Copies of this chain bind each other. A is one copy, B any other.
Amino acid sequence: MALIFEVSEYQERLRKVKESMLRKGIQVLIVSDPANMNYLTGYDGWSFYVHQGLVIALDYDEPIWWGRGMDANGAKLTTWLKHDNIRPYADDYVQNVFKHPMSFVADILREMGWENRHIGVEKDNYWFTGQCLDVLREELPQAKFHDATSLVNWIRTIKSPAEIKYIKEAAKVCEHVMRTAIDSIEVGRLESEAAANVYHAMIKGTDEFTGDHPAIFPIMPSNERTSAAHLGWKPDRKYAPGDIILLELCGVRFRYHCPLSRTVYIGDPPKELKEIADVVIDGIAKTLDFIKPGVTAEEIEAKWREAISGSRVVKPSRLGYAFGLNYVPDWGEHTVSLRPGDKTIMKPGMTIHLMPGIWLDEFGFECSEPFLVTEKGCETFLNFPRKIFTK
């Protein structure tokens, strides 16, 4: 067992989850999201490509880990759970149209006498498919199913001091990653090579802090590909004069992310790009100044819109989102979104990526800031220059 937090911290998280279950009328919670599994038990492995999860019951002390047989030793090695609460299923449940792992979960629930209960499922989570839902409904006709999507994620929204420490370490790695990326962009160099350097920096980390694998690959498109938000580098292309390159990267420390976006231009940036950069960079500063406990997510977005009003910049997509602990495919937590209608009140310990990415039809511009809500305002995790980097 190699935990990165005290067992008491995992238990406190579990207590908060049970408190939320109680408020929502959920007696048994089936957790499928690997980040939520890690958050509550420490479980850490690339086994989420098959069905796995936790079962948490209000009146049962520990979460029950269930997963594929070959991963049970991984659960023993990485979680604080008693081995009795690690329940492996036989290998023929894997990708088999005749047998579904949710039948195995239903067996556990029946064995525990929980088959008639109010059961929460992470209904809109990648790791809980339509088939999972239908199998559970068929197996447990007496149960009452509740949508518990993001129930655990909302607990994750407010970070403990120990979590914030890891994110600050991830920020150090992130700074190194972003520097490496900017340094690696050179006329005549393959985009693949720059991306390889970025990955190397992310994984190796700094002399002080080792890194980790990212939940989103390095988003570093060039030229017309910067008009889209989620394209990667072009493997066989070499950088050339006049290139614009977006860098949406991160540092990771024990699955805790710190993301950051910047823009590079090879040569003298065109006027239009400089104008957009000025507006966005000014808007970021004004928005950060406004953030403190008590203001809402939508008020932050409104402040941003006020700051850029009168300019030609428009930003129809959300301005930011909560981030932290995660696995592929997203470092976002699927809770807070900085946009109209999101009435989440900022509280100390929230970590949000202020990401006013601008994607026009011909090119894009990115400059972002991950921040921590503090007792009196907010602080950014990095102090990386906000500007167009030129080469």
Chain A residues close to B by CB (< 8 Å): 2, 44-49, 68-75, 77-78, 90-92, 94-98, 100, 121, 123-134, 147, 149, 190, 192-193, 195-197, 199-205, 210-213, 216-217, 219, 224-225, 227-232, 234-236, 254, 316-318, 321, 328-330, 332, 334, 337, 339-341, 357, 359, 361
Determine which residue in A132, A232, A235, A254 has the highest number of CB atoms from chain B within 10 A of its CB, and name it: A235
Are B211 and A46 in contact, CB atoms less than 8 angstroms apart?
A: no
CA distance A230 to B49 in the complex (A): 10
Please give the count of copies of this chain that the complex contains: 2
CA distance A44 to B234 in the complex (A): 11
Task: Offer 17 A-B interface pairs, CB within 8 angstroms, sorted by A.
Answer: A44-B231, A45-B231, A68-B317, A70-B357, A71-B228, A71-B229, A74-B231, A78-B231, A91-B318, A100-B124, A123-B134, A124-B131, A133-B133, A190-B210, A192-B210, A212-B235, A213-B232
CA distance A212 to B340 in the complex (A): 38
CA distance A230 to B73 in the complex (A): 10
Residues of B within 8 A of A190 (CB): 204, 210
With A71-B228, A92-B339 already in contact, the answer to whether A192 and B205 are too (CB < 8 A) is yes
Residues of B within 8 A of A231 (CB): 44-46, 74, 77-78
Q: Which of B47, B197, B229, B334 contacts A74 (CB 8 A)?
A: B229
In the assembled complex, the CB of A214 is this many whole angstroms from the nearest CB of chain B, namely 9
Residues of B within 8 A of A47 (CB): 229-230
Are A49 and B332 in contact, CB atoms less than 8 angstroms apart?
A: yes
Residue of B nearest to A195 (CB): B203
In the assembled complex, the CB of A46 is this many whole angstroms from the nearest CB of chain B, namely 5
Residues of B within 8 A of A229 (CB): 47, 68, 70-71, 74
In the assembled complex, the CB of A372 is this many whole angstroms from the nearest CB of chain B, namely 21
Residues of B within 8 A of A232 (CB): 44-46, 213
With A91-B339, A126-B129, A317-B69 already in contact, the answer to whether A49 and B330 are too (CB < 8 A) is yes
Residues of B within 8 A of A77 (CB): 224-225, 227-228, 231
Residue of B nearest to A199 (CB): B199
Are A199 and B203 in contact, CB atoms less than 8 angstroms apart?
A: yes
Residues of B within 8 A of A340 (CB): 92
CA distance A70 to B364 in the complex (A): 11
Are B95 and A334 in contact, CB atoms less than 8 angstroms apart?
A: yes
Are A216 and B49 in contact, CB atoms less than 8 angstroms apart?
A: yes
Are B228 and A204 in contact, CB atoms less than 8 angstroms apart?
A: no
Are B131 and A129 in contact, CB atoms less than 8 angstroms apart?
A: no
In the assembled complex, the CB of A280 is this many whole angstroms from the nearest CB of chain B, namely 15
In the assembled complex, the CB of A317 is this many whole angstroms from the nearest CB of chain B, namely 4
9 closest pairs, A vs B, by CB?
A74-B228, A130-B133, A124-B131, A196-B204, A49-B330, A70-B229, A196-B203, A210-B235, A91-B317
Are B210 and A236 in contact, CB atoms less than 8 angstroms apart?
A: yes
Are A94 and B124 in contact, CB atoms less than 8 angstroms apart?
A: no
Residues of B within 8 A of A91 (CB): 316-318, 339
With A231-B78, A359-B70 already in contact, the answer to whether A329 and B49 are too (CB < 8 A) is yes
In the assembled complex, the CB of A60 is this many whole angstroms from the nearest CB of chain B, namely 24
Residues of B within 8 A of A341 (CB): 92, 96, 98
CA distance A74 to B69 in the complex (A): 40
Are A318 and B94 in contact, CB atoms less than 8 angstroms apart?
A: yes
